[in-house]
């Protein structure tokens, strides 16, 4: 709409301003006062420098003194606002830098006997200590993934969750990567085409996806609220009918 197009509005105001300034040349001082008053009607869309070209070169600067001072004050306010924004961005950037540095050295302690958040089974560990590091599972991936939320998932369970919650393109990528990893390959549908990578590269790429966020606390779960509780496959298989009383 024209009301929302500031560029078009400014062009129209300039045409009107030129007409107002040039229509009466008998009293240049009065013309200037009209132009300044007219500029205020544009809600600051026009600046003093926008209407200056419409005046003769010999107009005294004193006639524009008030408007120039007002314009400079407006620019100064804008500069102060930008400076405040820059300070906020700088503070936010520094805080983010500190968070990244802290995340790089953060350690999540997994108690002995911790259970998988999805299947409820004990998480495999290599030591009887109260807090141990995960040992790589076959294929180079971790045996389990621990998140700052406190949730711990066995790798196969985390794969199943992400395939279920992720967008279709991401789910297909996860499945194609898993098709190259021996201990996950059997969990994938036979129709899945393996990714064009070796086992080591597939593990690296899958590890990046699995470690992005806790599926029970992140955006994926929030976005899944639009998904139906019962899939078409479950309806077709008679699963829903078995729930009838």
pLDDT in tens, 135-146: 455 555 677 888
pTM (predicted TM-score): 0.52
Instruction: For residue 64, name the pLDDT band (cuts at 50, 70, 90).
Output: low
Using alpha carbons, select from 174, 189, 184 the residue that is nearest to residue 141. Answer: 184
For residue 32, give every residue at least 6 positions away whose Cβ sits within 8 Å of its Cβ, in sequence order, or none. 55, 59, 63, 64
Cα 110 to Cα 126: distance, rounded to the nearest angstrom? 12
**Confidence (pLDDT) at 200:** 87
Q: At what angle do helices 65-104 and 28-41 cross, to 10 degrees?
A: 30
Strands, E assignment, 147-206: 152-154
């Amino acid at each position: 709409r024209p009301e929302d197009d500031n560029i078009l509005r400014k062009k129209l105001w300039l045409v009107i301003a030129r007409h107002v300034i040039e229509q009466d040349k008998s009293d240049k001082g009065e013309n200037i006062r009209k132009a300044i008053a007219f500029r205020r009607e544009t809600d600051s869309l026009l600046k003093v420098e926008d209407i200056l070209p419409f005046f003769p070169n010999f107009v005294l600067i004193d006639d524009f003194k008030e408007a120039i001072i007002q314009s400079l004050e407006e620019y100064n306010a804008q500069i102060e606002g930008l400076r405040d924004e820059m300070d906020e961005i700088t503070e936010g950037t520094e805080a983010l830098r500190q968070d990244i540095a802290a995340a790089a050295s953060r350690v999540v302690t997994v108690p002995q006997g911790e259970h998988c958040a999805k299947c409820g089974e004990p998480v495999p560990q290599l030591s009887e200590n109260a807090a141990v590091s995960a040992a790589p599972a076959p294929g180079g991936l971790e045996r389990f993934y621990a998140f700052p939320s406190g949730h711990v998932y066995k790798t196969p369970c985390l794969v199943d969750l992400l395939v279920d919650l992720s967008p279709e393109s991401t789910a297909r990528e996860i499945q194609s990567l898993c098709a190259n990893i021996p201990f996950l390959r059997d969990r994938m549908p036979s129709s899945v085409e393996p990714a064009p990578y070796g086992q080591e590269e597939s593990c690296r790429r899958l590890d990046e996806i699995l470690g992005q966020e806790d599926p029970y606390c992140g955006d994926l779960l929030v976005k899944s609220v639009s998904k139906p509780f019962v899939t078409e496959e479950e309806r077709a298989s008679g699963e829903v009918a078995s729930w009838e009383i």
